Chains A and B, each alone.
Chain A
Amino acid sequence: MRRITHNPAGWLAIPASLLLLLIAGCASTENPTPHQTPAAQSANHEETARHVPGSPFEKVFDGQADIVVLTFFDLYCVACQQSADAFKVLYSRVQQDLPGIETQMMGIGVGDTEFEIQVFQRKYALPYSCLPDPDKQFEEPFALRGTPTVLVFHRDSGKCVEVFRNEGRFRTSDIDKLLETVRKTVSP
């Protein structure tokens, strides 16, 4: 018969486990996601786009729109699927509620193939164009930490400056915040 006794130091399990997880967490940051601030990122946008033909920046900032709205999604991301209706509403609100402001809206399927973004676009009837990004080339330049992410850029004196960022599920209540930010940004 195997007899055992309770370990009186059992309460140590909690702080010990916390410590152990901290250690595990530190060990897992070998390849950290870049966490440049949006401002730091935007400062690099024009230069990157200018010098790297075919770069992610060039692909999305090649027009002349004052405001560029980017919706990053992934077909397999549940929160992206749940945000799709709000993306659609955002598109129509951007057209209606920002008169006089030239806007461009684009979706990017992070990690998605052409076929996968077509599935997403068709299923949720997204009325704006979407780009596939199977190799996740947009992830680092736009400091993406995951999907869904909505970014808004303002083109000012030839530079595109990030003025709005929403990470996680995008709700219709976020649309008003986005539009308000745009209005404040472009108003003199």
Chain B
Amino acid sequence: MMKLKVTSKLLLGLAAIAPFAGYATNGDNMIAIGPKSRAMGGLSIAYPQDAITAVFGNPASLCFTKFCPSTQADLGLTLFMPDVSAEVTNPLNPSETLKASSNDKIYPIPSIGWAKPFGEDNRGRFGLAAYGVSGLGVNYRQANIGGMLTDLAPIEMIPPAFQQAPIIAGSYTSLQIMKFSPSVAWQVAPNVSVGGALHIDYAILDMGTGESDGFGWGVQLGMVYRPTEDTSIGLVYVSPQEVTHDGVVNLGMGPQDLALEAPQQIGAGIAYEMDEGRLMIGADIRWINWADATGYKDFDWANQTVIALGLQYEAIEDKLVLRAGYNYGKNPVREHNGWDGSFDIASGMPNDMKNVQGIIMPTYFYETFRIIGFPAIVESHVTFGMTYHVSEKFALSLAFMAALEKDIVETGTGPTGAPTTLKSTLSETSIELGFAWKY
């Protein structure tokens, strides 16, 4: 028990110091945690292979590897490289399009997991994991669209009511969510395992006026059933997990709170092994309930069905495993067209507004925030990777992911009533290095 306490404190300590900024993949969720799952398009519900993946994918993690009587620790580091850009019609000169690239960088996202068998016949498995699970953000502060209207024209040409107005809302956003998750799994029968995990969420949100953090919590329940020795079926449910960010929004009426809820999810997966386990193919399907999640529903996100396909092949027995995968989730950010983003020139009051949790947003800023500030729009991901077993106790894994370029375009009327087009383009690449140690 003392060891568990110590390990739990260590993982919490890691969570507190880690720079876990990330970026969108399935909505703003990562497609996977851990290099083995990531290399197979996020496949993890029926066939988790390490401590991190088991806690993220399905806490009912059985021992699926060839030999796993021991405690296992996994470390992962993902280097996430998004490439995001935007185009906005110049509010003061509708014939001109302002183009900008977000000031992106390489985001390091650590993950750590630990699993220990317990109980009669090692039928139980206790796990702990800490990992960055969601992230989203853009930084156009240094770009032309990140400034004020007064940057676009001499101040005397701008109506007085607009002289303090930004060109868009959402020129700087940053959302980061990390989870700390203890989990327990138990084999209720030789071919059935059930499990549960407690999720403790730590989230940081910055909408351009400073960071605000908060905690949330939820549960994850899972089951794995093996109808045959070579087939595995998994089911998983994740409850909604809400975090309130105090005073994170300021639209000129003082700081206001905003709640964001990681949505509930239901997933199912199947994996099939061939050639005595040398070849495995699998598929996951995961429904993410963005449309009912606080915050996301306010910005009109749609539910998302994510499909992950993956395979792995043991190329050199007990030494080298190769993996490949594909992940698809339709862009959850709904396209709005024909919106009225105009303002009354004399008073400076918007002609149409949206209510977001009691925060009144002019429609133009609401739409620019949705499209430019939170462009979680990529759909297709191609992945591959490998694991090399350095020894019986140590293994190194690599995963590469490319999210193919995707854009979203909306049209409406801008602040002056002129036709306006908003466009965001996003693609991503990531490289993950993982280290597994059995002791």
Contact = CB atoms under 8 A, between A and B. Distances in A.
A10 B191 contact: no
A82 B317 CA distance: 16
Nearest to A111: B121
Interface in A140-188: 145-148, 167-169, 171-173
SS class, residues of chain B in contact with chain A:
mixed
A96 interface: no
Interface string B1-15: 011001100100110
Contacts of B317: 173
A28 B123 CA distance: 19
A37 interface: no
Interface string B412-425: 00000000000000
Contact of B14 (A13, A76, A86, A168): A13
Interface in A87-144: 111-112, 119
Contact of B210 (A3, A7, A112, A169): A3
Nearest to A11: B108
25 contacts: A1-B210, A1-B246, A2-B214, A2-B246, A3-B211, A4-B204, A7-B17, A10-B19, A17-B10, A21-B73, A25-B71, A25-B437, A27-B6, A29-B439, A75-B121, A76-B122, A81-B226, A82-B230, A84-B229, A85-B229, A119-B190, A146-B68, A146-B69, A168-B67, A172-B276
Contact of B439 (A5, A18, A25, A119): A25
A17 B110 contact: yes
A10 B106 CA distance: 13
Interface in B59-84: 62-71, 73, 75, 77
Given A24-B6, A75-B121, A82 B212 contact: no
A43 interface: no
Contact of A14 (B110, B190, B211, B276): B110
Interface in B242-284: 246-248, 255, 273, 276-277
B67 A10 contact: no
Contact of B123 (A7, A76, A148): A76
Nearest to B317: A173
Interface of A: 1-7, 9-14, 16-18, 20-21, 23-25, 27-29, 74-79, 81-82, 84-86, 111-112, 119, 145-148, 167-169, 171-173
Nearest to B246: A1
Contact of B77 (A14, A148, A169): A14
Contacts of B10: 17, 20-21, 23-24
A41 B62 CA distance: 31
Contact of A28 (B18, B204, B255, B439): B439
Contacts of A5: 211
A27 B255 contact: no
Which of A3, A77, A78, A146 has most B Cβ within 10 Å?
A: A78
Contact of A10 (B18, B212, B226, B273): B18
Contacts of A119: 190
B125 to A, nearest CB: 11
Given A14-B110, A24-B3, A111-B120, A81 B13 contact: no
Contact of A13 (B18, B64, B66, B120): B18
How big is the B interface, by class?
35 or more
Nearest to B111: A17
Which of B14, B64, B67, B116 has most A Cβ within 10 Å?
A: B67
B94 to A, nearest CB: 37
Contacts of B120: 111
A70 to B, nearest CB: 17
A20 B18 contact: no
Interface in B122-140: 122-123
Contacts of A75: 121, 190
Contacts of A14: 75, 77, 108, 110
Contact of A86 (B64, B69, B276): B276
Interface in B191-242: 191, 204, 210-214, 226, 229-230
B85 interface: no
Given A13-B17, A20-B10, A145 B70 contact: yes
Nearest to B204: A4
Nearest to A172: B276
B187 interface: yes
Contacts of A17: 10, 14, 75, 110, 112
A80 to B, nearest CB: 9
Contacts of A13: 14, 17-19, 110
B216 to A, nearest CB: 15
B114 interface: yes
B229 to A, nearest CB: 5
A74 B191 CA distance: 12
Nearest to B108: A11
Contacts of B108: 10-11, 14
A162 B300 CA distance: 67
Contacts of A9: 17
